[in-house]
Structure formats: structure tokens, C-alpha cells
Amino acid sequence: MLRSLRSLGVLTLGLALLTGCGSSGSGGGSPSAGSGTATGSGSAEPSASAGPESPAPTPTPSPESPTPTPTPTPGPESPSPTARPGDAELAGRRIVYSYPGTTVPEALLQRVRQGRVAGVIFFAENVGSDASALGTAVARLRAAEAQSPSPRTLLLMTDQEGGLVRRVPGGPAQSAKDVGRAADPVAAATRTGQEAAAALTRYGLNLNLAPVLDVYRTPGDFADSAQRSYSTDPATVGKLGSAFLKAQQDAGVAATAKHFPGLGSAPAGANTDEKPVTLDVPLNRLRAVDERPYRDAIAADVRLVMFSWAIYPELDPDHPAGMAGSIVRDELRTRLHYDGVTVTDALEAKALDSYGGTGPRALAVAHAGVDLLLCSGRDVAQGDAAAAALTAALGTGELDRDDFTASANRVDALRGTLK
């Protein structure tokens, strides 16, 4: 992806937002990472691809969330005794890392040189005052990748949805809601997709945790409050979201549809970055309304789909979507025939607190069949912990090697199409 409300500010803190893909990309239901901050251009942004959610620049240690440590432990360099030599590299090919501040940590560059990183998600705090720091960071990451044993283009991503949710300077200034109300909505969606791609390519990024395909229900609800939904009509959402993603992908930036199977029914304040959310939507309505835009996006060849962290009792009463095989494999892959890359919302989302720390969360996601794990807590140790858990489980046979490799191969295939 990565594919509730928080107070956000325009450069200070004055706008109330909520965040999915990103959430990065993109946290549970907010733009992939969970929380929002002011973009380098002064626009407020909810956190990463998770959604309008806004993860704090420095994650607060808690029993349930990854605790930042100066020296990541365990790291991908310490696989379990039964792990094969290549397991750490295989696990790393499914991990999206993040980091704090404007300087890429040497630890992350080292992982990249080892071929143990699929991608990196960026937030406003990584951009710097004039965005030059972001350009430097991207150059250093690309140089490190070129030194890896099997160089593959890194997935360099952010949440550039438009309107309030923008991580890097540039467009689109129009939100999804603005586009839906435009005189010519399809033309506006196409233009905003082009503008998003232009903003990302300017800094060397190649993947956007957008567009949001949530079909909101009532004014002011979760998806509508940050103006991240195109419409209350699923056909309109599908048409405009597809126009956005096609324009963006035509410009060389991979798009992410989020947050499957849909957060449009979430009421105001139902933010998975902050707490568990259950959406008790009848199955026929979930498929006819919330999943409807994904059929259009899949037909338009969307490159990634991000899952929400909400629970949908009609599909799985016990697990959030990104941890439910009945949703990942049965609903998206089998019923909707999607064969592209899948990505979690922010792995540090508080909706997952009952699953424990990063390791157990990573295993639950891998068991469900999601390809990319979005470690967007701005802490290299978080990505290391996820990679270590996957590496150990591969070594013991807890995770099926063929399925695991198929996921890594899908991610590699995507990386091979991008610059």
C-alpha cells in the first residue's frame, strides 16, 4: 500500500482530518501510514497510505506497538537457526520500511544494499523545508539498491491523494470530493491523477498510495470528513478512481486502490489508526456498494490494492480485512479476479493491538496472503522486526514457502516495471 479523525494543521495544527494504502501507504482506513502532518507545500495531510490517520512522527512506545531502539533487534541479519541462507533476503523483498526525519539512516541503507528491502514510504517529515532532503534521500536509496546482489527498482512511495492529503509539495490541490463535484468529473479526475504523478516523479518516487475508493454514506462521516471520497454512488467512485489511476499509471507511477473491501460505511471517528473498528455491513450491500469500485479499478489494471484494518463480520467476524484469508484470497483474488500486488495499511495501527507487537502482526498478514507489509512507524527497527519474524517462520515451515515466494515474485515483477 501501504491499499477516525485527527487534528492536523496547515503548517501548524489546525485542520481536523482522518486517515487509509496508506495507506501506504496508507493506515487502516487512512492513507497508508496512520497520521497526518503538514506537507512541504503547506497542505495538511493525514498519515500515510493508511488514510486520514496521522501516525506521530516519533512512534510512542507501548506494549502493543513497535518500540524504537537505536540498534534494531532482532534484525534481518539474525535469522533463526533453521532458516535457509536466502530466507532473510526473501522476507525483505516483502517489507516496506520508513524512517524518521530528513536523513536516511545508515541501517536502512545497509538493508537496501543487502537486497532486503522492497520499498520505502515517505512522509512530510522526510521532505524537509525545501524538499531538497527528499531528493538526497531518494538518490542515496537508489545508489544503495544498485549495490545490492540483485538490483531491483525500489518501490518509493507516499500518499498523494489530493486536497488535504499530500505528502510532497505539488498537486493535486483538488480533493476527491472536489473532483466528484466538478463540472466535468472525469476530466478533473484525469487531471488530478496526472498532477499526482508529476509531484512524485519530480522527487524520484514511483508509487502512490492512492486513489481512495471508499464510498461514503453521509456528510461528515469518516471518508467524507477529510474529503477523500468521490461520491456516495459506487459507480461514480469506480469511474473517477479509475480515471485518476489510469492517468497516473500512464505517467509511470503505480497506483494503489484502497481500502478494500471499503471504509465508506465507517462513521466519523472510526479510525483504525486509533482503535479497532467493526463495520457490520450486510454482505449484499458490501459487495454491491463498497466493493463495486474495485471492479472498475481492476479492469483499469490498478497495480496495487490496499486492505483496511476494519473487521467485516459478514466476511470474517474475527480478523481485520488485511489479516483475513477469506477477504484477501477468497474475496479479492478469487471472486474479483485480482492478480496484482496487495499491501497492508499501516502495520502499527492501534486496531491491531490485540495481536501483539510487530512480529505477530507480520505473521498474521503473511498467513492471510498479503504481499507487501507497510511498516510506516518511522522506525527502521519496525521493518527489521517484521522481516525477522517472517524469516524465522520460513525457516521453521510455519509459512508455506511456495506461497511466500509467489508473493515476493509479484512484488519483484512490479518493481521491474517501474523506474
Q: How many CB atoms are closer than 10 A to CB 392?
A: 23
Strand, coil or helix: 8:
strand
pLDDT band at 130 (very low <50, low <70, confident <90, very high): confident
Grid cell digits, residue 397: 515451515
Predicted confidence band of residue 300 (pLDDT cuts 50, 70, 90): very high
| DSSP structural state of residue 13 | S
- Indicate whether 337 belongs to any domain: yes
Answer for the pair 380, 68: CB distance below 8 angstroms, yes or no. Answer: no
Residue 5: pLDDT above 60?
A: no
Question: Residue 46 has what pLDDT?
Answer: 39
215, 216, 217, 219 alpha-carbon torsion, rounded to 10°: -160
Query: Is residue 278 over pLDDT 80?
Result: yes
What is the reported pLDDT for 208? 98
Q: Model confidence over 222-252: pLDDT tens digits?
A: 999 999 999 999 999 999 999 999 999 999 9
pLDDT, residue 68, reads 40
CB 89 within 8 A of CB 409: no
Which CATH number characterizes residue 235's domain? 3.20.20.300
Whether residue 292 is contained in a domain is answered as yes
In a domain? residue 41: no
Q: Which residues of 52-63 are buried (b: 16+ CB within 10 A; e: fewer)?
A: bbbbeeebeeee
DSSP letter for 353, please: G
| Structural domain contains residue 148 | no
Spatial distance between the Cα atoms of 213 and 215, rounded to a whole number of angstroms: 6
Strand partners, 7: 16
Q: Is residue 356 part of a domain?
A: yes
For residues 38 and 35, what is the distance between their CA atoms, to the nearest angstrom? 10
Is 21 part of any domain? Answer: no
- Show the domain range for 298: 118-123+154-417
Number of domains the chain is built from: 1
**Mean of pLDDT values over 125-137:** 92
pLDDT of residue 128: 85
Torsion-angle region of 269 (φ positive above 0: left; ψ -120 to 50: alpha; else: beta): left
Q: Is the pLDDT of residue 168 over 60?
A: yes
pLDDT confidence bin for 26, thresholds 50/70/90: low
Whether 296 shows a pLDDT value over 80: the answer reads yes
- For 41, the enclosing helix (H) or strand (E) is none
Q: Are 340 and 299 in contact (CB under 8 A)?
A: no
The CA radius of gyration of the chain, in Å to the nearest whole number, is 19
pTM reported for the whole predicted model:
0.84
Residue 302 located in a structural domain: yes
Mean pLDDT of 399-413: 97
- pLDDT(64) > 70: no
Query: DSSP per residue over 152-212, as a string?
Result: ---EEEE-EEETTEESSSS---S-HHHHHTSSSHHHHHHHHHHHHHHHHHHTT--EE---B
As beta bridge partners, residue 379 has: none
Model confidence at 4: pLDDT above 80: no
In a domain, 92, yes or no: no
